[in-house]
Amino acid sequence: MDKIRVLLIDDEPSFTRMLKLSLELRGRFEVRVENNGAYGLKVAQDFLPDIILLDVIMPDVDGGEIASTIRADRVLKDTPIVFLTAGVSKETTRAKGNVIGGQKYLAKPATVEEIIRCIETELRKPGGVAPGSSAVPKS
Amino acid sequence: MKGAGAEQKDVAAGTQNLNGSGPDAEVRSRLDAVWELANDALFAVSLDGIIVAWNRAAERIYGYPAQTIIGKPLSLLVPEDRRHELETTITSIARGATIEHFETIRLRSDGVPIDVSLSIAPTRDEKGRVTSALAVARDITAIKQALRQAEVSSVKLSEREAMLRRALLALRKSLEETKSTQLHLVQAAKLESIGRLAAGVAHEVKNPLAVILFAIDYLAETVQRPDANMVGALNDAREAVLRADSVIRGLLEFSTATELTVSKEDVNSLLQKALLLVRHALTKSHIFVVEEFASDLPPVMLDRTKIEQVFVNLMINAVDAMPSGGTLIVRSRREQLKEPGPDVGYRRSDPFRVGQTVIVIEIEDTGTGIDEATRSRLFDPFFTTKPPGRGTGLGLAVCKPIVALHGGTIRIGNREGGGGARATVIFQSIRP
């Protein structure tokens, strides 16, 4: 069975390194990390992830802008995006079904299990891409 | 010199057949001088009301020359509505009475009324019979006008004083409101500062916390043969991270308690939802729940999420106050405020008005209650009586601004008769 391809865009190297390690340790995930938000779209076009975990506040370009460019991309437009944010409390995100302004959110710090549950939920949704089978053939 | 009315001086002097010599002549001379020089009007009137003598001052005051007025009725000088005075006066004089300083109104020759002070005495013949009346009239128009002016000024002064008193009251009220607004602004500014600080701290601290949490999970998954100490250490580390995170969360909630998304809500269903959220803690602490919900509650404009948070915080506090079990009583009712109280009054700064209908929510525990020192600090941020690791000290600090933003109040005290604490939250109801 193909692994779930996760693109992790966050400017915090220690965060992305530990999350990548933790997810890949489960054996079901293939994680690509990008610490520079400006390269987010390019890496996504190259990696063709099943899901994107995206930091909200980054120094060069914020998560919202990156999400907009991804949504505008013909190939990537249906790829689920989950925002990871340190600026919203867990209670707030939970109270609104982890959705604020129509976007899926996860408040930091989330446990690896919480992140995995969120990934699986997003990929099961109608329109979600089957794990390991991106919308277009990988080249 | 013999002036106008010289003939009448005989009447004034009350003497007859004087030949101009001796002591009588001297008296007469003095009376002539008085008649001529008096500043007040002097005139004589026969008992049938005809003017028979008239001095210079009378000419000046009444405007009638002696030659035109002598022989005319006195009623010429008396306004229509005061004619009755004439008869009374003449009757009194005819009986030999004297009238002193009788203030009244008379008419000048041009019809202009003047204020006069009249003193009238009878004059008698050699047999002592009253033959006429001698009147002294002082023009007091200026004095009366001044008095009337003073009266008007006094009334105006009283009105001004009343106006000033009202203005002073309004000023005091306004000052009170300004102070209250200022306090709110200071509080809002403080919250805003804490908000900015919390957002900054949250962002800077939550990332490292997330890294530590991942590292703990990673270690827990990868360490091949963990000894008992390592398992304990990793659990402690995980709990420490979650506790640090709860402090940050509390700070964020405290600082974001400034915006509301309100809608018509049923308080009972929010209480039930909150009870559902704390059911695990209730079961764990062997706490029995008593629900006393009024069935006739009107809806209330509330931010559902934030008020649920308030109820949960109050219930968690109640649960923590009963570590060995007890009873949690959750009550709701509609109440009409009948008399002024701590939050009930007539000032604009009072959250509730007498006569207003409110929704009262009470959350009671059967713990040990709250001492005075604790009570005064209950809503202070980071103040807690819970053991280390159990509370952030932000639960109630978050509740207060949330409830206040809804125009409500929150009070915490002990139950009547002791044996536990009671949190009372009051909201304004809206008309169904």
- Closest C-alpha among B228, B318, B337, B321 to residue B275: B318
Q: CB B249 to CB A91 under 8 A?
A: yes
B169 touches chain A (CB under 8 A): no
The nearest alpha carbon in chain B to A10 belongs to B207
**A124 lies in some domain:** no
pLDDT at site B244: 83
**B275 lies in some domain:** yes
Which of B201, B204, B206 should we substitute to test contact with A (largest number of A Cβ atoms within 10 Å)? B206
Chain A nearest-CA distance from B248, in A, is 8
Q: Which residue segment(s) compose the domain that B68 sits in?
A: 6-139
Which of A10, A12, A16, A22 should we substitute to test contact with B (largest number of B Cβ atoms within 10 Å)? A22
Q: CB B218 to CB A18 under 8 A?
A: yes
Show which of B78, B106, B139 is a domain's final residue: B139
Contacts of B254 in chain A (CB under 8 A): none
Sign for the pseudo-dihedral over CA of B384, B386, B388, B394 = negative
**B132 lies in some domain:** yes
CATH number at residue B55: 3.30.450.20
Which of B214, B308, B309 should we substitute to test contact with A (largest number of A Cβ atoms within 10 Å)? B214
All residues at 6 or more sequence positions from B305 whose CB lies less than 8 Å from its CB, including other chains: A92, A95, A96, B261
What is the tally of structural domains in chain A? 1
pLDDT at site A97: 53
How many angstroms separate the most distant Cα atoms in chain B?
A: 159
pLDDT at site A92: 53
Report whether A75 contacts A48 (CB < 8 A): yes
The nearest alpha carbon in chain B to A84 belongs to B207
User: CA B418, CA B370: separation in Å to the nearest integer?
Assistant: 9
Q: Which residue segment(s) compose the domain that A13 sits in?
A: 4-110
Residues B132 and B264 in one domain: no
Q: CB B211 to CB A96 under 8 A?
A: no
DSSP state at residue B128? -
pLDDT at site A134: 45
E-state strands within B238-374:
263-265, 287-293, 300-302, 326-336, 344-345, 352-353, 357-364
* H-helix or E-strand spanning residue B46: strand B41-46
To the question of pTM greater than 0.90 for the whole model, the response is no
Q: CB B206 to CB A108 under 8 A?
A: yes
User: CA B245, CA B160: separation in Å to the nearest integer?
Assistant: 64
* H-helix or E-strand spanning residue B43: strand B41-46
| CB environment B152-169: b (16+ within 10 A), e (fewer) | eeeeeeeeeeeeeeeeee
The nearest alpha carbon in chain B to A113 belongs to B217
**For each successive 10 residues of chain B (432 residues), what is the average pLDDT?**
42 43 81 92 94 95 95 94 91 93 94 95 92 94 92 92 92 82 71 70 82 89 79 85 79 66 89 90 91 90 87 91 91 87 72 84 91 78 65 74 86 85 87 51
Chain A nearest-CA distance from B162, in A, is 56
CATH number at residue B289: 3.30.565.10
Percentage of residues in chain A having pLDDT higher than 70: 77
Contacts of B205 in chain A (CB under 8 A): 86
**A91 lies in some domain:** yes
B240 touches chain A (CB under 8 A): no
A64: left (phi over 0), alpha (psi -120 to 50) or beta: alpha
Report whether A7 contacts A19 (CB < 8 A): no
Show which of B71, B105, B139 is a domain's final residue: B139
Partner residue opposite B214 with nearest CB, options A19, A96, A107: A19
| Neighbour tally for B193: CB within 10 Å | 11
Which of A91, A117, A118 should we substitute to test contact with B (largest number of B Cβ atoms within 10 Å)? A91
Chain A nearest-CA distance from B234, in A, is 14
**B91 lies in some domain:** yes
Q: CB B211 to CB A90 under 8 A?
A: no
Measured CA distances, B295 to A104, B193, B267, B269, B357 (Å) = 38, 42, 11, 11, 15
All residues at 6 or more sequence positions from A99 whose CB lies less than 8 Å from its CB, including other chains: A93, A105
The nearest alpha carbon in chain B to A91 belongs to B249
**A26 lies in some domain:** yes
Measured CA distances, A81 to A36, A91, A128, B250 (Å) = 17, 20, 10, 27
Report whether B402 contacts B395 (CB < 8 A): no
Sign for the pseudo-dihedral over CA of B132, B138, B141, B143 = negative
All residues at 6 or more sequence positions from B350 whose CB lies less than 8 Å from its CB, including other chains: B343, B344
Partner residue opposite A25 with nearest CB, options B207, B218, B305: B218
Q: CB B215 to CB A18 under 8 A?
A: yes
Residues B267 and B402 in one domain: yes
CATH number at residue A30: 3.40.50.2300
**A21 lies in some domain:** yes
Chain A nearest-CA distance from B340, in A, is 38
User: CA A22, CA A34: separation in Å to the nearest integer?
Assistant: 16
pLDDT per residue as tens digits for the range A98-132: 555 567 778 888 889 999 999 999 898 765 555 44
| CB environment A19-39: b (16+ within 10 A), e (fewer) | bbbbbeeeebbbbbbbbebee
Residues 242-271 of B with CB under 8 A from A: 245, 248-249, 252-253, 256
- Type of residue at B348: R
Q: CB B208 to CB A14 under 8 A?
A: yes
Chain A nearest-CA distance from B337, in A, is 34
Mean pLDDT (whole number) for A19-40: 92
B239 touches chain A (CB under 8 A): no
Quick one: tokens of A112?
């690896």
Partner residue opposite A109 with nearest CB, options B213, B218, B308: B213
Specify the pairing of strand A51-55 against strand A4-9.
parallel
Chain A nearest-CA distance from B258, in A, is 14
**B204 lies in some domain:** no
Interface A–B counts its CB contacts (< 8 A) at 75
Q: CB B217 to CB A109 under 8 A?
A: no
Identify the residue with better confidence: B233 or A92: B233
Show which of B139, B160, B179 is a domain's final residue: B139
B213 touches chain A (CB under 8 A): yes
Quick one: tokens of B248?
């940050």
DSSP letters of B52-89?
Answer: EEE-HHHHHHH---HHHHTTSBGGGGS-GGGHHHHHHH
* H-helix or E-strand spanning residue B274: helix B267-277
Sign for the pseudo-dihedral over CA of A56, A62, A65, A67 = negative
Q: CB B214 to CB A18 under 8 A?
A: yes
Q: CB A22 to CB B308 under 8 A?
A: no
pLDDT at site B191: 64
B206 touches chain A (CB under 8 A): yes
Quick one: tokens of A136?
């277009």
Chain B nearest-CA distance from A86, in A, is 5
Report whether A108 contacts B210 (CB < 8 A): yes
What is the tally of structural domains in chain B? 2
**A52 lies in some domain:** yes
User: CA B90, CA B97: separation in Å to the nearest integer?
Assistant: 10
Band the pLDDT of A30: cuts 50, 70, 90.
very high
Band the pLDDT of A139: cuts 50, 70, 90.
very low
**B235 lies in some domain:** no
**A126 lies in some domain:** no
Q: CB B241 to CB A109 under 8 A?
A: yes
Q: CB B214 to CB A25 under 8 A?
A: no
